[in-house]
A and B are shown apart, each in its own frame.
Chain A
Amino acid sequence: MKIDSYRFLPRSFRPIYENPTPDGTDPVWAPFEKRLGSSRIALLTSSGMYIEESQESFDLDRERAEPTWGDPSFRVIPKPLDRIGLAHLHISHDDILADPNIALPIDRLVDAEERRVIGEVAPRHYSVMGFQGASLEGWREIAAPGIIDLLHEDEVDGLILAPV
């Protein structure tokens, strides 16, 4: 079966998403070589999640002043999940604040570890603010290399990314 990618999108937004320009077209592929049951898995959300007590919010003031700009930084979300904040002007926050697992399912990943479906939950997970406006250069220069370094450092075998 094939789902409807536009079911919940306002109709006026549809043309923006229908003919995107890809950053690259080559078939990038890293084979998953370990058994899932002995692999270390990490998560990444684009919900603008951050740890309220210890981290800065993403910069929403600048986005408000400069609507074609989005904060390209990233946050490290440790396991277990502390009290989170959300900085994202494009979605309602209510449901993610009620249950962060709908965007960053750390508790479900712990369940999978306990059932030995995976080897272990990575010690660090990641959050970005998904709206990047006119340019991907910020992500290319800041978020991507920073996250990749930490994934290598933690010897992560696979990453699940979930845009919101």
Chain B
Amino acid sequence: MPVLARWIEAAGIPTVVVTMMPDLASALFNPRTVGVEFPFGHPFGMPGDTAMQGRVLGEALNVLAGADRFGTRIDIDIEWPVPRKEAYKAWQPPEPSPITQWWIERNMLER
């Protein structure tokens, strides 16, 4: 997604990426990044939690409009309200994705 952000930014439109993996966004030279320590599939937070969603969106808007330099990264201090083990399981698809399956068959994943 940072790659899309870079192309869109190069076309003259300011962007911000809200992501669970801000380290990756920075490594890909993303212009503006907001990091959230949430399980995958949940960049704006918990379903039904409008306050949490609004806070993440508000931070994204602040960084979008207020960042003054390339590579700005702000991480949001919200702890995920579900225990890690449970949340780790819950975000995953019902069966491994095709590429995961492909990697497993070729022994390409570290154990």
A interface residues (Cβ-Cβ under 8 A, vs B): 1-9, 11-15, 17, 19-20, 22-32, 35-36, 39, 41, 44, 46-47, 63-64, 67-68, 89-92, 94-96, 98-99, 101-103, 105, 107-109, 111-112, 117-118, 128, 130-131, 133, 136, 139-140, 143-144, 147-148, 151-152, 156-164
A25-B29, A103-B41 given; A91·B91 CB < 8 A = yes
The interface size of chain B toward A, counting residues with CB under 8 Å, comes to 75
The A/B interface has a contact count, at CB < 8 Å, of 239
Contact yes or no, A91 B92, CB < 8 A: yes
CA distance A19 to B27 in the complex (A): 8
| Min C-beta distance of A119 to chain B, whole Å | 11
Shortest distance in angstroms between A130's beta carbon and chain B's nearest beta carbon?
Answer: 6
Known: A105-B44, A160-B64. 19 other contacts (CB 8 A): A4-B37, A7-B37, A8-B20, A17-B24, A39-B65, A44-B4, A47-B41, A67-B99, A92-B90, A108-B44, A130-B1, A140-B7, A148-B13, A152-B11, A158-B15, A158-B65, A159-B14, A162-B1, A163-B19
Would you call the interface of chain A mostly helix, strand, loop, or mixed? Answer: loop
Query: Which A residues touch B13, using CB under 8 A?
Result: 30, 148, 151-152, 156-159
Q: Which of A25, A63, A117, A128 contacts B58 (CB 8 A)?
A: A117
Cα distance A100–B67 in the bound complex, in angstroms: 27
The 5 A-B residue pairs with the shortest CB-CB distance in the complex, in nearest-first order: A99-B47, A67-B98, A27-B70, A163-B1, A5-B23
Contact A148 B1 (CB under 8 A): no
Please state if B3 and A161 are interface contacts (CB–CB under 8 Å). Answer: no
* 9 contacts across the A-B interface (CB closer than 8 A): A15-B110, A35-B65, A95-B42, A99-B48, A133-B99, A148-B11, A151-B8, A161-B1, A163-B20
Q: In this complex, what residue of A is CB-closest to B28?
A: A22
Instruction: Give chain B's interface residues, CB within 8 Å of chain A.
Output: 1, 3-24, 27-29, 31, 35-48, 50, 53-54, 56-58, 60-61, 64-67, 70-71, 75-77, 84, 87-88, 90-94, 97-102, 109-111
Asked whether, in the complex, the Cβ of B29 is within 8 Å of the Cβ of A24, the reply is yes
In the complex with contacts A95-B41, A131-B97, A160-B16, A5-B21 CB distance below 8 A = yes
B80 to chain A, nearest CB (A): 8
Write out the residue numbers on chain B whose beta carbons fall within 8 Å of the beta carbon of A164. 40-43
Are A90 and B28 touching (Cβ within 8 A)? no
For B23, the closest partner residue in chain A by CB is A5
In contact, B36 and A3 (Cβ under 8 angstroms): yes
Q: Write out the residue numbers on chain B whose beta carbons fall within 8 Å of the beta carbon of A68.
A: 99, 102
